[in-house]
Amino acid sequence: MDEILKTCLYDRHVQLSAKMEPFAGYWMPISYSGIIEEHQAVRNHSGMFDVSHMGEIRITGKDAIPFVEFITTNEINSKPFGKVIYGLFLYDNGTCVDDLLVYKVASDELFLVVNASNVAKDYTWIVEHTEGFEVLVKNESDDWSEVAVQGPETEKIVMEMMQIDLTDLTFYTFKNVIWNGHKLLISRTGYTGEDGFEIYGDAIAIPEVWDLLLSSGKILPCGLGCRDTLRFEASLPLYGHEISDQILPIEAGLGSFVKMEKPDFIGKKALLAQKTAGLVHKLVGIELTERAIPRQGYEVYSGDQMIGHVTTGYLSISTDKCIANALIATKYAIIGDQISVLIRKKMVPGVIRNRQYYKKNYKQ
């Protein structure tokens, strides 16, 4: 086992008495004041996450755009520079290598942000597919630190404290700024279902941003615990749960990020074949009609028939409902149908529902 790494904010987390756990090779804060309080802060006010563990990969060269069009599912060519684009890397068989954000910097430069736990795998996979393209692939993950500031009051507080104008940043766009002599990349993106920003900088700049924003007294430090409850309620997928190398993106309800009309991309042939043959699984929402918590891996039944399993489930903090995402056999994926979840040897009844558990609160 390799040594567990520390982000540039590690000492601050310890000082704040955060509950720390190893995650994706880093010591990461799970919670500070408590998952529920942190979750509510992001929904109602503002919270800040250390997400320095995320992976950053830069693609440069003449063929940067056609190359990333080829290795990801979404459409990049028609989007303006300064746009952030959500997409997926797929294997030839159509299952997911990872999901990612593509920052469209220039005609010869794209900045990719990938899951921390997948950086090494993604980098290798990208490099393996460069043949025939004039591109350079650079894993810059060690050079970047990152905080995510999220919640309805975030914009006002960040602009006041940092003395920068971010009103021109629309949803899923970014800009580079010089702040206190530091180069920062700021995007109006996030993983909570709320308005907010992700701020990238080096290991000198990000602690300055963190300290300044916390000194407002209006932003709560938030850990990975509530990051998961927030993203789940907003029906945002997490690699290893809703997407994986066993799941097709079109089974996971991510069809709108898979542009089948693109001439070619890795995995397209397999997806076309699967669409023709019919999908085996489908990701659905489940709401239990008795109080119990459906957790990842729990089996889902229609009558006596096991039809799938829970990918993520919680007693939802924002809605107080016992809800879950579940990957089930397609023929059972009918909204309103009765199912049950096996929880500690008990069949707990529930119904199939949509996955819009919480209405996203984005600023367009």
Partner 1 sequence: MSKVVEGLYYAQSHEWLKVEGNIGIIGVSDFAQAQLGSIVFVDLPEVGIQVTKEVEFGAVESVKAASDLLSPISGVVIENNQAVIDDPELINKDAFANWLIKVEIANPSEIDQLLSAADYRSISK
Q: Binding residues for partner 1, per CB under 8 A?
A: 19, 30-31, 34-36, 225, 228-229, 291-293, 295, 314-315, 317, 343-344
CA dist 280 → 39, 111, 136, 211, 308 (Å): 35, 34, 38, 49, 11
Please say whether the dihedral angle defined by the alpha carbons of residues 208, 211, 215 and 220, taken in this order, is positive or negative: positive
- End-to-end C-alpha distance for the chain, whole angstroms: 44
- How far apart are the C-alpha atoms of 172 and 188, rounded to whole Å? 5
Nearest distance from C-beta of residue 313 to partner 1, angstroms: 10
When the beta carbons of 40 and 216 are compared against partner 1, the nearer one is: 40
Nearer Cβ to partner 1 (67/314): 314
CA gap 207, 145 in Å, rounded = 9
Q: Which is nearer to partner 1, 150 or 189 (CB)?
A: 150
CB nearer to partner 1: give 72 or 316. Answer: 316
CB nearer to partner 1: pick between 213 and 322: 322
Task: Tell me phi and psi for residue 117, to 5 degrees.
Answer: -70, -10
Give long-range contacts, CB 8 A cutoff, 24+ apart: 249-252.
249/73, 249/88, 249/90, 249/94, 249/96, 250/274, 250/275, 250/279, 251/279, 251/280, 251/281, 251/282, 251/283, 251/327, 252/96, 252/283, 252/327
Q: Determine the Cα–Cα distance for residues 100 and 63; give it in Å rounded to an integer.
A: 19
The answer to whether 279 touches 329, Cβ cutoff 8 Å, is no
CA 108 to chain centre: 26
Nearest approach, Cβ of 346 to partner 1 (angstroms)?
8
Query: Least CB distance from residue 362 to partner 1, whole Å?
Result: 24
Q: Could you tell me the sign of the dihedral formed by the alpha carbons of 167, 168, 169, 170, in that order?
A: positive
**Is 123 or 232 the residue whose CB approaches partner 1 more closely?**
232
Closer residue to partner 1 (CB): 76 or 343 = 343
Q: How far is the CB of 23 from partner 1 (least distance, A)?
A: 13
Least distance CB 18 / partner 1 (angstroms): 12
202 or 299: CB nearest partner 1: 299
Q: Which residues face 20 on adjacent strands?
A: 29
Residue closer to partner 1 (CB basis): 156 or 291: 291
Q: Give least dist CB 237 to partner 1, A.
A: 18
The span from the CA of 291 to the CA of 204, in Å, is 47
Closest CA to 159 of 204, 219, 103: 219
Residue closer to partner 1, measured from CB, 296 or 361: 296
In SS3 terms, 96-108 reads as: EEEEEEEEEEECC
Shortest reach from residue 30's CB to partner 1, in Å:
8
Tell the smallest beta-carbon distance from residue 315 to partner 1 (Å).
5
Helix (H) or strand (E) holding 121: helix 119-128
In this structure, are strands 26-31 and 5-6 parallel, antiparallel, or unpaired? Answer: parallel
Q: Residue 35 CB, nearest distance to partner 1 (Å)?
A: 5
Q: How far is the CB of 113 from partner 1 (least distance, A)?
A: 25
